[in-house]
Amino acid sequence: MKNIPRRDFLKGAGILVVGFSSWRVAELGAQAPGFNGTGSNALDSWLAVAADGSVTVYTGKCELGQGLYTAQAQLIAEELCVPLERVKLIQCDTALTPDQGTTSGAQSHPTNFNQANLAQACSTAREALVQLAAARLTVTADALVAKDGVISVKSNASQKISYGELIGGRKFNVALNTSAKRKPANEWTILGKPIPRLDIPAMATGQFEYVHNVRVPGMLHGQVVRPPAIGASVMSIDESSIKALPGVVKVVVKKNFVGVVAEKPWQAIQAANKLKVEWTPGVGLPNQTGFHDFMRNQKQTRDTFQVNSQDVGAKLASALKIVKATYHYPYQMHGSFASSCAVADVQTSSATIWSATQAVFPLRSSAAMVLGLRAQDIHVIFKMGSACYGCNAADTVSYDAALLSQAVGKPVRVQLTRKDEMISENYGYAFVLDQKAAIDLEGTIVAWDHEAWSPVYGNRPGANQPGNVLTGLLAGFEPAAFAPRSPAPNPTNFANNSNATPSYFKGGTGTIASVRVLTHNIHSPFFTGPLRSPERLQNTFAHESFMDEIATALAADPVALRLKHLADPRLIDVVKAAAKAANWETRPSPRSGNRRTGIASGRGLSCVLYEGDNGYCAMVAEVDVNQDTGVVIVRRLVIAEDCGPISNPDGLRNQLEGGALQGISRALLEEVTWDSSKVTSIDWRTYKPLFLGAEIPKIETVLLNRPDVRAAGAGETAVTVTPAAIANAIFDATGARVREVPFTPERVKAALALR
């Protein structure tokens, strides 16, 4: 994929697009951008057809490594009936594209591939073109067929007219038509096919332009100097400490934000390292050992019931059999492969920011606050970074670059160091999760109680909270206030967005009527934010491990017990499909006959309906556990997925495989560590990830394509079920239950010792 500057492209294709920013400003004034943005009802804000028949399409959902550029291009080509190579896609640019909020939460498919937004724009355009052709060819619209950007008369193919001839270079001037018909999936020739990613050839040959490669004339290089301890404030700065260093342009201080600007990047790094800054000692951190008890013992909590059938306490009190367990989950990092980078060019009253942000419009608004400019005077251009998996440091580094550029009046590029990346991001939530279940004489679960504690602080900055990430905080902005609330109000309507409720609840996908789900948020000492499958992974780890513990208590097969308590046929289907593909042996765990020393093998299953409505997934994991060393090796994963109509089967497989491998990394290795004042996970030795040469499993995927239902997300399903599938397999192999992520050799050995 070649990134063509907008101006050059317009010249080449002869497209006329005017008036974009004016309507958008008006629209933004009326409504702040939300999760999915304000979108647009005007067809011309989504796409333009050039005289040569090429189609330029503007989307507010961007490529983050998940294959969305290609999938959206397929959708456009399919709905518009043009060849794929004639589609040019412009992603996330506040001057050009509709405001679609944030590319996150596995929401791009639900948003852009169903009957709204991008898909609706394409079908509206196709129908509008057919209407125009009908008038030009003096036939009725139903006598026409569109193919390869040409509309012809069905009964006489020589009677035809191209899109370029019909509208080339001109505007449609129509609104999105909510009744415009989508092409039925059984007619698809591009969408639904395993089209190779359009951007991969450039990536594999070192030609792809990431935000790290953006170079602006006159650009300088910045580095930040972060507080050495959490909560430390600047006391004094000795600028003379770097006076003698080459290339230093300026030391920039704004409250507790400190940075340096230099002519070259290496000079900026040297200067940042050598700048003498005196800091206050910081606020101190709770002990990492015992942190789970610390969470549980917090008095200031924000309590939320997701479900409360009001009878769970009574059912537990009178039950013949009760099963209980507590699960622990650590803080984890996004740990993006590349440290985040941004380029900003801030002038007196305007600014341009090149950023790998997931949220160009929200960043425009929040950066306006940081810079003291008007949002409409800021232009944010998305350029891909390395994959973020959620709220990494992309927004923070955008503020870094913007503040430094503003201070020197020249464009500044900032690429964080590895340490600064790792201490600047918003970590995935730690959790303590208590589970209790009541079981009747027939082995039926009659009540389920879920009570969890999880720390929160900051979040995505959104449109108006730059203090939700580190640079905004350092520059003087407050994070979202923590609002204690106890007791929790009773829930009004059920939505399982955070998957805090187990799949087996009758009001969701299961059969159990008596369920209580209570979550206590507490104040986190660290910034937190959405990390791929936020809360859902942690909750699912607890629920799906616990389901196996119940199965063990009943001497039941874990799959059979699930099927007995599930009601949603699509969730049942993925469980059955994964079990079948894995040749699941119906029997209770642990496997009988396994030796208690040396290597033991086992299998485990886990399933979820992600976010309660956004993709079904089941996974079978097969593991080897070395009972002498505690080392766990995942040998095989079988994943069954149903995310509705599949846009690109190979892209979907790639996402499932990637989610599963990231799940292994998180289940076995990853944990943020800290001491009494600061985070000590600052590189790939102190935060251990799954390297390429590790023992990696064979991964098989079973795709259940459902062309007739709504498109759902798929990017976060596999990672959600992986830790529990592995924990259940460890138990099946050894009879030892691991209840704390990551399953390090020490923890596995401790669990083995309890058998």
Partner 1 sequence: MSAFNLRVNGQSHTVDVDAGTPLLYVLSDDLALRGPKFGCGLGQCGSCTVIVNGQAVRSCITSVDSVSGSEITTIESLGSPEKPHAIQKAFIDEQAMQCGFCVNGVIMTAKAFLDSNPRATDEQIRQAMANVLCRCGAHTRMMTAIRKYAQAVKP
User: What is the contact surface with partner 1 in residues (CB under 8 A)?
Assistant: 64-67, 196-197, 199-210, 212-213, 215, 221, 246-247, 264-267, 335-339, 341, 384-387, 389, 415, 417-418, 650-651, 654-655, 657-662, 665, 683-685, 689-694, 696-699
| Residue number with CB closer to partner 1 (47 or 690) | 690
Cβ at position 395, least distance to partner 1 in Å: 17
Residue 719: which of 608, 575, 602 has the closest Cα? 608
Tokens of 65: 């490594």
Cβ at position 69, least distance to partner 1 in Å: 11
| Residue number with CB closer to partner 1 (655 or 720) | 655
Half-sphere exposure (Cβ direction) of 272: Cα atoms closer than 13 Å: 29
Cβ at position 514, least distance to partner 1 in Å: 38
| Residue number with CB closer to partner 1 (102 or 117) | 102
Cβ at position 386, least distance to partner 1 in Å: 3
| Residue number with CB closer to partner 1 (217 or 569) | 217
Q: What is the DSSP letter of 468?
A: G
Cβ at position 273, least distance to partner 1 in Å: 12
Cβ neighbors of 338 (< 8 A, separation 6 or more) are 210, 212, 385, 386
Classified as helix, coil or strand, 400 is helix
Cβ at position 652, least distance to partner 1 in Å: 11
Cβ at position 723, least distance to partner 1 in Å: 14
Cβ at position 682, least distance to partner 1 in Å: 10
> Cβ(728)–Cβ(589) under 8 Å?
yes
| Residue number with CB closer to partner 1 (31 or 207) | 207
Tokens of 718: 């596999």
Cβ at position 696, least distance to partner 1 in Å: 5
Classified as helix, coil or strand, 474 is helix
Tokens of 531: 């990390």
Query: Using CA atoms, how far apart are residues 431 and 154, in angstroms rounded to an integer?
Result: 62
Residue 653, phi then psi, degrees to nearest 5: -60, -40
| Residue number with CB closer to partner 1 (648 or 734) | 648
Cβ at position 683, least distance to partner 1 in Å: 6
Tokens of 170: 């001109």
Cβ at position 331, least distance to partner 1 in Å: 17
| Residue number with CB closer to partner 1 (666 or 747) | 666
| Residue number with CB closer to partner 1 (59 or 267) | 267
| Residue number with CB closer to partner 1 (231 or 649) | 649
Q: What is the DSSP letter of 674?
A: B
Residues shown for the chain: 755
Cβ at position 284, least distance to partner 1 in Å: 28
Angle between helices 717-734 and 536-553 (to 10 degrees): 30
Query: Using CA atoms, how far apart are residues 527 and 457, in angstroms rounded to an integer?
Result: 5
Three-state SS letters, 174-230: CECCCCCCCCCHHHCCCCCCCCCCCCHHHHHCCCCCCHHHCCCCCCEEEEECCCCCC
Residue 618: which of 631, 629, 630, 604 has the closest Cα? 604
Alpha-carbon torsion 610, 615, 616, 617, what sign?
Answer: negative
Between the alpha carbon of residue 457 and those of residues 11, 78, 232, 524, 684, the distances in Å are 48, 43, 17, 5, 25
Residue 91: which of 376, 360, 395 has the closest Cα? 360
Alpha-carbon torsion 745, 747, 753, 755, what sign?
Answer: negative
Residue 163, phi then psi, degrees to nearest 5: -60, -40
| Residue number with CB closer to partner 1 (64 or 234) | 64
| Residue number with CB closer to partner 1 (475 or 661) | 661
> Cβ(640)–Cβ(618) under 8 Å?
yes
Side-by-side strand order, sheet with 632-642: 599-609, 616-626, 632-642, 698-703
> Cβ(722)–Cβ(621) under 8 Å?
yes
Cβ at position 621, least distance to partner 1 in Å: 15
| Residue number with CB closer to partner 1 (201 or 476) | 201
For residues 206-244, one letter each, b for 16 or more C-beta atoms within 10 angstroms of the residue's C-beta and e for the rest, the string is eebeebbebebeebbbbbbbbbebbbbebeebeeeebee
| Residues facing 329 on adjacent strands | 431
| Residue number with CB closer to partner 1 (2 or 299) | 2
Cβ at position 67, least distance to partner 1 in Å: 7
| Residue number with CB closer to partner 1 (208 or 294) | 208
